[in-house]
Amino acid sequence: MGKVYEALQRAETERGRRGAPVPGLAAPSATSQSGASRARGGRFARLRNWLGELRAPVEVDDANSFNKRRIALLQPDSFVAEQFRSLRARLEALAAERPMRTIAVTSAMPGEGKTTAALNLALVTAMSVGRRVLLVDCDLRRPKVHVALGLRPECGLAEVLADEVPLDRAVIQVEGTSLAVLPVRRTPSNPSELLGSDRMRALVEELARSYDQVIFDLPPTLAMPDAKTMCELVDGIVLVVRADETPQDDVAAALDVLDRRRILGVVLNGTDVKPHRYGY
């Protein structure tokens, strides 16, 4: 579990050697090596499972980024797609030990790659033969899943929670895949209240009965209370951290907010690692 802390420290050190500032990370100093810093390192060490490093694309809002978010669909044989298959395999190994039908993906702050991770994990999971997989966009403030997949929903999660439409009308099947998506069409004025409602709890239970795997793309943990509310309803949580950018304090704070008993591990996103090709 110390791998998360060590990876961030290595990234910070390497950036320092190149003379470049490290976005979001404090420069090394006597203060950063204090007892408080060591305590934060201990928080990383207490994570129960390391899910591995993903070399996933940067999550930036431009036309090209939306294609990168669905790389497992557009380039299923790519190195990045294989990394998401590795993530899927590790989650399946955990599922052999305890129920793992509903999984939430979140990050500390925006722009760290949570939607990329949630979307591609859902896509590679849906490639498994005979598995019914649903991706739920729970970001009722800044939804991105339907845009990344090129979907044009007529209704979505907010309308289902408000009992305006039945669930089957809101779910969309992604063409050419076995993946189903419950998108966001309307951004309501009360997202926190909707996600914390009894209706949402009942919906999660219904989805867990209807699908083999349900993956929830949540809002960032520290930006609003929505993620905390949703994480109490699922079997497990994956936290996405961006190498060189996510402040260590933000990671520690996110782990404090989330229920550690449900933390499955951390995905280190955006690392600069050359692929190792098998058979060449």
Superfamily of domain 2-269: P-loop containing nucleotide triphosphate hydrolases (3.40.50.300)
17 vs 69, higher pLDDT: 69
Give φ, ψ of 136 to 5 degrees.
Answer: -110, 120
| Sequence ranges of the domains in the chain | 2-269
pLDDT at 252 over 80: yes
Q: What percent of the chain shows pLDDT beyond 70?
A: 68
Highest-scoring range by mean pLDDT, 49-58, 203-212, 254-263: 203-212
pLDDT at 266 over 80: yes
pLDDT at 97 over 70: yes
Mean predicted lDDT score pLDDT of the chain: 75
Q: What percent of the chain shows pLDDT beyond 90?
A: 38
pLDDT at 83 over 80: no
For 35-58, b/e burial (b = at least 16 CB within 10 A) is eebeebbebbeebebbbebbbbbb
- Whole-number Å distance between alpha carbons of 115 and 70: 10
pLDDT value for 31 = 27
pLDDT value for 14 = 43
pLDDT value for 162 = 95
| Mean pLDDT, residues 113-137 taken together | 90
pLDDT at 271 over 80: no
pLDDT at 51 over 80: no
pLDDT at 32 over 70: no
Q: Count other Cβ atoms within 10 Å, centred on residue 79.
A: 14
pLDDT at 261 over 90: no
For residue 136, give the nearest of 117, 159, 118, 111 by alpha carbon. 118
pLDDT at 260 over 90: no
134 vs 46, higher pLDDT: 134
pLDDT value for 30 = 27
DSSP assigned state of 53: B
pLDDT at 66 over 50: no
pLDDT value for 8 = 44
- Whole-number Å distance between alpha carbons of 242 and 266: 10
DSSP assigned state of 220: P
- 107 near 221, Cβ under 8 Å? yes
Residue 34 banded pLDDT, cuts 50, 70, 90? very low
pLDDT tens, position by position, 154-211: 999 999 999 999 999 999 999 888 899 999 999 999 999 999 999 999 999 999 999 9
Q: Count other Cβ atoms within 10 Å, centred on residue 266.
A: 27
- 126 near 149, Cβ under 8 Å? no
Residue 74 banded pLDDT, cuts 50, 70, 90? very low
Q: Name the 3-class secondary structure at 37.
A: helix
Parallel/antiparallel/unpaired status of strands 179-182 and 172-173: antiparallel
pLDDT value for 275 = 55
Residue 149 banded pLDDT, cuts 50, 70, 90? confident
| Mean pLDDT, residues 227-245 taken together | 90
DSSP assigned state of 242: E
Give the amino acid at 238.
V
pLDDT value for 179 = 94
